[in-house]
Amino acid sequence: MSDLERLQQRLDYQFLELERLQEAVTHRSAGGRHNERLEFLGDSVLNFVVAHEVFHRRPTDSEGTLSRLRASLVNRSSLAAIARDIELGDHLRLGGGELKSGGHRRDSILADALEAVFGAVYLDAGFETAARVITGLYRSRLESLPDKAVLKDPKTRLQEVLQSTRRPLPGYQVLDVRGRAHHQRFQVECRLSDSEQTTLGEAGSRRQAEQRAAEAMLVEIGAESAEGGGSGHE
């Protein structure tokens, strides 16, 4: 049995055009046709499918809670964990440099490749089949959604993402405060010292502005997607 046959078994889907799956598992470092366009497509399909699932599974939750639930399911860490469940790393096509540096184990590469696989399934067989593959891989996670009280806020999620990659913790600084007491607007900057990446958050309290800046940083570093993070790519 070939590597791609084993992968298709784990996906519970047989491709009509195997070239699509081959493209989905090809990292740009390998040269030629690679998976970045499929990743873009798969990210959108994944976000919709997961949004649909949490919407129907949690009928009384607010929009904010649903967004956080979706973010917890589609972030880089969650995608990488599912990719490891199906041993996707064993099937990745990487360039020499990525092979030597262990790219097949890296969360970002695994997460991107899994999204590309979802995009490939969508192109090969349409939305319903892609949704079936996604919900199949997510079944245990969808059946054990966390209570809204334990969902982590953006600052906590950002701290955990940075700690997992041994990066320094972010700094927060108030840049501006406007308005009178009890009607103030705070603008806060979140900065990563090792890369000089910055994001801004604005809200009616310093704490909420910090949360929004942290949320924007999660998107900036690719840990969560703008669609999925409340606004991912764990």
What 8-state DSSP symbol labels residue 33? S
- Active-site entry in 23, 98, 107, 115: 115
Q: For residues 114 and 56, what is the distance between their CA atoms, to the nearest angstrom?
A: 24
Is 90 an active-site residue?
Answer: no
Confirm or deny that 189 is annotated as ligand binding: no
Q: Which residues of 50-88 are buried (b: 16+ CB within 10 A; e: fewer)?
A: bbebbeeeeeebeeebbbbbbbbbbbbbbbbebbeebeb
Angle at 150 between CA 147 and CA 153, to 5 degrees: 125
Confirm or deny that 124 is annotated as ligand binding: no
Written as six digits, the tokens of 188 are 């806060």
Give one word for 185, left, alpha or beta, with left for phi > 0 and alpha for psi -120 to 50.
beta
Cβ–Cβ under 8 Å, residues 107 and 77: yes
Is 98 an active-site residue?
Answer: no
Confirm or deny that 112 is annotated as ligand binding: yes
Of residues 161, 162, 76, the one with CA closest to residue 114: 76
Q: Residues annotated as binding site for Mg(2+)?
A: 39, 112, 115
Q: Which residues are catalytic?
A: 43, 115
Q: Residues annotated as binding site?
A: 39, 112, 115
